[in-house]
Structure 1
């Protein structure tokens, strides 16, 4: 109730700002080749802090109008075949902002990071971060997390077939990774094994993955990292831009279609997108997995104002996901000789997510107030018939305010306040976790100092979380005892960067973070059909406390670039669910038949995770690119002196890419990729089985050509071309993961898959 009152109060407070405006500022300049002085028309210039973008005209000139009259902003210029350049402009002093770009055979990489407390180039940002571009996100995948896991060092995924992926960053997952869209933390089924992220994979213009603790900015649950999903920036005034994309994958017949349009009329900005995906049963090298199809529908939009006082954008989205589940028992035949089609049978899931986010950026003299208000409704239905057996309904209100004080002598201070209220209800006749209310409040202070080629940052945060689980009796028997928990914590972090030269940068971070137990860990008591296990929570769990340190060396030369990083993370009171062989509970299903479930109980241990990650990209010639990424996490259960459970295997990704010049074709490429996954024998022997090593062969070809004035991009990509039989270490359907009683119960990862894709960028005056 208090969070809802705060939400209403903030809405009432911010609207008066619309009645006032600062004097308008502007930025203009020219983009040229640093060596020849030739103008570079078509260069994309962005000011991410103000959510603006424009394109240089035929003379290489650009301009932004109706900007704030004061403030320092990061401006980025990107042009194919040239190094991306970032400059900072002080609007109070004005003046032309000209870019002289250097030709480079290294492909463009996003270099501005917005998900950290202060937007800056990656070189001056101590956080270990990766930015995945729109083009990279268009690579074949079944969901957003699947696309990221193929691109980002140190990131993996927990999968259930092709439809469900949970992010894993440096060995940490579930409630330890925050997913952020439109400045608001995604609140849904983060704690569940068999639920994905309720976000349209087509909507992101780019995604930032922040590795390591980000709790200072985002509070509890960001102990492992943050996935910051960024929508497209608004176009120049008078412009309408958009895209149409469509693809088809052979393995499960996945069709994916999405249409987006965005416009700007004198500062009134808008965007709309509609997407639909549909897939049948996926095929393993041993046959099809029955009732594994899925479909999802996504509608999203934005209405807002971009003016001299800042911006205010109202974002709204609806995401519906239907997923089939195989109702097999250990020992049953899991495969069939042919696909059953696209019709989903029971049991299946029906997930719906509704979201409103009001994003505001107000310029107040030399200072800035960022205010993000959110409301989300997440509904999870598990159906064994048309009537849902389990119906979990979660409503979340959130508010996040950051006040940026004007920079003085290189010092950039921020103070922040965040609050949220979650309220859940059980509307079915089966129950897994109790109804609960959760209120959280956090405040932080952060400062960044820049001098010469150095930056230093530090911050402190205080959090308070109140959990109130509701008691429940079913047929006279207590199902949930109810619980009341209060958690508070002070955490801190510090970071440092030093640029030895334009091509060599060192970063280091150290700090402490925490994560409060979630209601599922505190109060679960029920059969979980999707995981084939009976979960029992522990109301006496303590918060996790993490002590982290990492260091990264980034390098960039004429023919090679990359990074190398190491990290250490010691976690007190690490929470996870484990099982003991032979402990089972028998439940009666909807048909009156008994069903046995392995019992998983939530407990705590001390854990130590350390590892390395990095990339090495070689460019011996303009048309040859050899890109390599690697990551490895070593995790130990220190309490019982055995490996920690559910840790990804080490992996090396190698991609050789040729980009020959052919008349009539743009951005032609031919790629060959090899993914090498090491065996994972470091397992918790009480409920895990080892996963063997394997190698996957991938390939692709694509190009852009013009049909009149319309650019069209066509691509064909193949994954697992040798149709290799393998079990990924984090595949939930592999032997031993779903049933301790019969470790032969397992499903291979998907086999050969060829994807055909079409992409049409739309530009309308």
Structure 2
């Protein structure tokens, strides 16, 4: 740990030390290295009426600087290095403008936005080397802004993103969710937060993503292999969470936020504030969330589905003519109850573990057992600390970006009611991330980037038991990416080589070797090539072919232990090969004044797909292992080739003259099969059912004197039956379909043109439908012998309220 700390210190100190050099380099005899600073000013108005738009956003994503317009619609940005950059101008209820701006001196430019109730243009930084218009990316990217997240009801961040077409959640109760993209989840999806890939225990059902839901500014979801930019594990896609958006020059801004949900008494609060004075930026935030047990009409209150979490962090940095240097820090702390679902045979009520004079016994849960927000045994605690140094230096017209980060993820599981403080499991995971990229200035419409990135990681076992061995790994990968614009055609592509070295440690338990030591190297080449063609102002075609890969995870290579909640005793397989995929994506986007359509189809061939295989006993039948007083079926990891294919369609109709009315329909479907039948089934596990969401929304009072940006919406969320589960080895069962009725309304309350507060009301599952999602791991908990129903059902009727109060000051 000491050596790791020194390495981290050197990385961060080195990055920050370079910060002081550009101004000196600017005066060297060799000539000017950094470009002179310029200012960028202008006005944002309504294209039809000419009225000024106060509060419009003007953002340079690559420079991480932005501003908002004042009451006269005027914006001003200073200390911007000269060059050519992508700017995004946006305002609620209007179509965004995304274009490249050449800054060669103090520049003034006005923007006129056209009213639009569908977002037809946006900027993405996911899967590309620099900020790019979504229209020009050949792969499908969905973007959700903070306003959209506020209008929904969710119990965690991935739950909030799961209505995006092609995105679902693998959940273990309301606090633990992980993303699945087009039927692939766990270590096949990379989650990025403020430029650094999030590293926790993504491989397990009982682990979430350790990111504060209330501190999210924007989420970008890339669907398809993204190994080119992110290396191993981005086989399914990327979820990029952007939290930090520095305040405009000369301002101090913040928010006070509160929420409450009726079903599980969830209460949440958040506060953030940040400022910018002459390019010196700073910010701080804190969040608290707690919930009691949720309920539904079949189970009543689901015992021990409670949780609580705290998160705080901050940042400091400089934005100058030489570029920027930012330092981020966050500390996430979550306590979650683990739902086992055991019931009393006579009454069907949930049971809890109790200490009766030094003897472990079961008792019926009742009363305050359900309303407390402090989890019972069994429970877990997740702590995630992160510090990141993010830097960008202008070298002439080129740009060098350097990112270094350190993460410490600690997962502790408590399962002994006789000794509640005993840590049965304790994973201590330490990760150092690095990413260095050189961005060449655009020349003849070519934009090219080369880079190297990767991570060093180590895991220690500090608990009474161990499911995976202690290990260390080192990733390194180099890539080249380029983009060429030819009138209406944009070509993109690149190639990458990666190497992962794994060193797994031997462990003896009671004189027997539980984990054998081994070293492994996994190397692979990935790449992509694609195009985006704007056939007209309204129609865009996209096509992309990508090869991705994923190295086997440590649990897949070396597990040896009981996986609680899954009824499995898992054995790793050291001879596993890397997964590789070849995916073809095709899509069309149509954006007219009254109709918006986005349709994508894909085919993904995955070689050496890794999955569970049940073991047979020597005498025949299932292999059963006894761990303590519990019995588990024995499984081993295996791999075969697999195929996934499907489609996503989004149709938004806002008919004239009822432009304020949205009728939106979103459909997504994916099918996955193995190349060879396994125990009577060729279906892939964890494949979500087809889904159709029908949404009718009315927006009003965009320029009201008291209410602005008001909306009322009604939604029917239809999930079809999943009749193609992976039934081999009793892994999955069929899941019936269901339909949920949801509704919401809200808006901004203003005075003298300024927003006083924003209020959001929502109702989910108004009909109180009892249902089980196919990807809910609680579906496979214990049988209720009174009703005959297996497992626990999802949340019932839930009402929520959110209040957000913006804060705005001018620097003294």
Using the size of structure 2 for normalisation, the TM-score is: 0.90
Alignment-derived partner of residue 725 in structure 1: 770
Match of 1:652 among 692, 699, 709: 692
**Counterparts of residues 412-491 of structure 1 (less than 5 Å):** 412-491=447-526
Counterpart check, 1:534 vs 2:569: yes
Cα distance, 1:463 vs structure 2: 0.2
Alignment-derived partner of residue 591 in structure 1: none
Alignment-derived partner of residue 598 in structure 1: 633
| CA deviation string 1:83-139 (max 9, x = no partner) | 1111211223664322122223x1446600011223111111112100001011122
* Stretch of structure 1 that moved more, 682-691 or 18-27: 18-27
Alignment-derived partner of residue 35 in structure 1: 48
Alignment-derived partner of residue 680 in structure 1: 722
Counterpart check, 1:368 vs 2:403: no
| CA deviation string 1:519-568 (max 9, x = no partner) | 11101000122434211111110000101110111111111112000001
Alignment-derived partner of residue 61 in structure 1: 74
Cα distance, 1:258 vs structure 2: 0.5
Alignment-derived partner of residue 123 in structure 2: 112
Counterpart check, 1:282 vs 2:284: no
Match of 2:223 among 205, 211, 221: 211
SS of residue matched to 1:290: coil
Distance 1:26 1:334 in 2: 67
Alignment-derived partner of residue 529 in structure 2: 494
Using the size of structure 1 for normalisation, the TM-score is: 0.95
Distance 1:5 1:555 in 2: 50
Match of 1:230 among 211, 231, 242: 242
SS of residue matched to 2:48: coil
> Between Structure 1 and Structure 2, how many residues are aligned?
755
Q: CA RMSD in A?
A: 2.1
Counterpart check, 1:585 vs 2:630: no
- 8 A Cα contact 1:194 1:531, kept in partner: no
Q: 1:92/1:512 Cα in 2 relative to 1: closer, same or farther (>3 Å)?
A: same
Distance 2:479 2:343 in 1: 50
- 8 A Cα contact 1:688 1:736, kept in partner: no
Distance 1:309 1:97 in 2: 23
Counterpart check, 1:357 vs 2:369: no
Cα distance, 1:294 vs structure 2: 0.2
Structure 1 spans left out of the alignment, 5+ residues = 589-593
**Counterparts of residues 338-357 of structure 1 (less than 5 Å):** 339-357=370-388
Alignment-derived partner of residue 670 in structure 1: 712
SS of residue matched to 2:602: strand
Distance 1:499 1:110 in 2: 13
Distance 1:295 1:129 in 2: 32
Q: 1:414/1:141 Cα in 2 relative to 1: closer, same or farther (>3 Å)?
A: same
Distance 1:367 1:38 in 2: 38
- 8 A Cα contact 2:379 2:413, kept in partner: yes
- 8 A Cα contact 2:77 2:249, kept in partner: no
Cα distance, 1:197 vs structure 2: 0.6
* Stretch of structure 1 that moved more, 575-584 or 243-252: 575-584
- 8 A Cα contact 2:15 2:402, kept in partner: no
SS of residue matched to 1:733: helix
Cα distance, 1:729 vs structure 2: 0.7
* Stretch of structure 1 that moved more, 743-752 or 617-626: 743-752
Distance 1:20 1:225 in 2: 36
- 8 A Cα contact 1:34 1:102, kept in partner: yes
Alignment-derived partner of residue 190 in structure 1: 202
Cα distance, 1:461 vs structure 2: 0.2
**Counterparts of residues 609-628 of structure 1 (less than 5 Å):** 609-620=644-655, 621-628=658-665
| CA deviation string 1:443-477 (max 9, x = no partner) | 00111101100100110100000111111011111
- 8 A Cα contact 2:700 2:708, kept in partner: no
Cα distance, 1:622 vs structure 2: 2.7
Distance 1:318 1:5 in 2: 21
SS of residue matched to 2:213: coil
- 8 A Cα contact 1:292 1:326, kept in partner: yes
Alignment-derived partner of residue 16 in structure 1: 18
Counterpart check, 1:103 vs 2:115: yes
Distance 1:582 1:329 in 2: 23
Counterpart check, 1:629 vs 2:666: yes
SS of residue matched to 2:393: strand
Structure 2 spans left out of the alignment, 5+ residues = 24-33, 351-364, 616-620
Distance 1:30 1:326 in 2: 55
- 8 A Cα contact 1:7 1:398, kept in partner: no
Counterpart check, 1:168 vs 2:210: no
Alignment-derived partner of residue 748 in structure 2: 704
| CA deviation string 1:638-679 (max 9, x = no partner) | 122611111000001111112244763222221110001010
SS of residue matched to 2:759: strand
Distance 1:33 1:367 in 2: 35
SS of residue matched to 1:501: coil
Cα distance, 1:60 vs structure 2: 2.5
- 8 A Cα contact 1:704 1:713, kept in partner: yes
